Amino acid sequence: MRLVQLKRNAVAFMNDERGVTAIEYALLAALIFSVIVIAVTTAGTSLAALYSAVAAAIPSP
């Protein structure tokens, strides 16, 4: 009797996909966050180089 109920609960647990959806959303959010961080870092490095070039081109008084 208990073994049948245990098997039924195990099958129900394996078929439950609610947690899987949450994990998929979390992975998607982490991927988007990573892309944003990489883009901002790259843009920041490029802007720093541009500002340094402009500062070097301006003659000092």
Report pTM.
0.56
pLDDT tens figures, 1-17: 788 888 888 888 888 77
Domain ranges of the chain: 2-57
pLDDT tens figures, 20-51: 788 889 999 999 999 999 999 999 988 999 99
Q: Please give the Cα distance from 49 to 5 (Å, whole number).
A: 67
3-state DSSP of 9-51: HHHHHHHCCHHHHHHHHHHHHHHHHHHHHHHHHHHHHHHHHHH
Indicate if the alpha-carbon torsion angle 10, 15, 19, 20 is positive or negative: positive
